[in-house]
Structure 1
Amino acid sequence: MSNENFKQELITWRHYLHAHPESAFEEENTARFVAEKLLEMGYEIVTGIGKTGVVGTLKNGTGTGIIGIRADMDALNIHEKTDLPYASEYPGKMHACGHDGHVTTALGAAKLLADNKNFNGTVRFIFQPAEEHGEGALAMLKDGLLEKFPMDELYGLHNKPNLPEGEIHSKIGPIMASEDNFEIRIKGKGGHASTPNMGVDPLVTASEIILALQTIVSRNIDPIDQAVISCTEIHTDGAVNVIPTNVIITGDCRSYKPEVQSIIKERMQAISENICKSNGATCEFTFRNSFSPTVNWEECHLTAIQAATNILGKENVVDQAQQVMGSEDFGYFLNKIPGCYVFLGGKREGKGVYPLHHAQYDYNDDNLVRGAEFFAEIVRLKLPS
């Protein structure tokens, strides 16, 4: 198959997936599509790992090494506003994060390896559900992914529409942050807005807490480390002329180290409970980890950089990537086995950039072959024939 025909095939696959988005743990049609393509290529497949996950395995030669490539499959609950001929056919759902491109890229790499058989060992393709909620990787791990399908190393990528088209960026160590969600329930004593002295105003207490939480990053976290605390919602049971009894503050935190996560949790709880106590209110504080930090292993990073250089040229590879405070549940895999996660730039020269999770976002099709060749090159480097 010519390179142009290969590219057109990948584009056709990607546009089909884009038109048929499925959100977390609902990726049944996507999983069927993936399984059918892998079977056509000669892969052994297992479905239903982590509910809708798919694992494809191909062995070649006598090598004992096993390399994994992972792609996330889920879409978002966003109504698409692109007017593309392959726009989402499902109202309220779209591939606004490019997972349609990630799936297609991995399938492209699977096809290259199956067609050329230029590796000696075993390659596994992991198609994961429910990345957006941070639950898919854990679901696959709980289903025994690593025990049933052992791998020496695992690699993944995410498209980045703000980075130059065709560039791959990676770094040793933390590349994406953890995400921790919190909820602060404040109970005061409501009453008429004209007589605040007769109650305990939880809104005033909530305001003090929201401001005080911002001192944690500036005064409790080592300035060398990075962290973000964001209060994103506030709910009350009051009205325009009623002081509420209950206020709920929710939000999330981002950081790169477990010890920083612990400091944030401890200080948030202490601040919330003590401000409530000083104002005569009560407090219930909950803190839940949603995403582990994504921390690249050094040897795997070096492999990814070499593969990217071989495919894209040194001028299109950055080995000191700017880490981001966004989160990705690939980090749960890297807590268990060596691996590396990279960014693939998609910014088209002279064209506007829609960010990830935007209703007008669309994956850059020109990156499909690049990403597929990059993944295939990693396998060839680690499993030389």
Structure 2
Amino acid sequence: MTSTSTIADIARHAGVGTATVDRVLNGRPGVNAETVQKVVQAVAALGEPTVLRGRPRLRENFRFAYVLPDGESHFFDQVERQIAQTAGDFRHQHITEVTYRFNADDPVRFAADLAQVGDCDGIALLAPDLPAVKLAINEQVRAGVHVVTLFSDVAGSMREVYVGADNRAAGRTAGLLLARMAGAPRRDTLLLLSQATRLSAEIERRIGFAQVIEERFARLSVLRLPDLPPDDEGTYQALMQFLQKDTDPARLAGLYSVGSGSAGVVRALTELGLAHAQGLVAHDFTELHQSLLISGELSYALHQDIHYCVLTAARVLRGLCENVRGALNVVQPRVEILTAENLH
């Protein structure tokens, strides 16, 4: 029998998504037996489509969902804006994108919302690395939806690839920069600041930072101030209390802000007269960090190419949907070190 059917024809006949048909035809796991039978019956009725491996097939639009945490974060807002600004590029690639923001402070609710994301061929996900979220990812994959993680990985889930910088290397870079700035012998303490987001990206940054200090700079010690509030005001209050009651500011050699709250950090340092006394490293090239770099209140900003990552996630998802050989071969972005002298 000569086939004139397409993947989309079979999907409509079987009442499933095109990604599910793709999985069944290529013998990949994650589709339940009843769904497999529906696809097999549709293929028997319509004929098996010709699959040109390694090249895209013409078909109707792809629909991809970008799922981000909700909450007060300059970085999450920047990612959402970048997705919106990339809409023109998506249209040329026959991609329709939709962005969701879910409350990551409640992981069970976040996972439930993620499991309800429907009517899409793929999901690019920035989420906390928690068991409930892993289960929700696995549910989506078993339903035939391709999932990639973006900027922060959820290892151990059925996601197909991670798109983003090496966060442990980023943490090591921050440690190296601050340790080399710690010239005065009396200043021997580095302060590690992070929020309770449970993003693996921030966990990996903390690990990398501690590793490089322990391995290469034995005279320096690391003080951890974890579970800071995510907002600038909360960070300011917590850091002020810590610097006034729990440590000796005169021994402070530098601070590494793993996540959000940079404005609160700078405010606390300024009020205590410490704004230019030691180095400060933070992540992401936001408008706030640009102004702090220019003023000298922020020593370095570690950045990754957000535009590249957003486009790459869509490219990978499309390649997976079209069964393109090598779709999972991703060149990850480098960690850029930005200073007041190399802003562009």
* Larger helix fraction of residues: 2
Higher relative contact order, chain-length normalized (CA < 8 Å, sep 6+): 1
TM-score, normalised via structure 2 length = 0.26
Whichever structure has more strand as a proportion of its residues is: 1
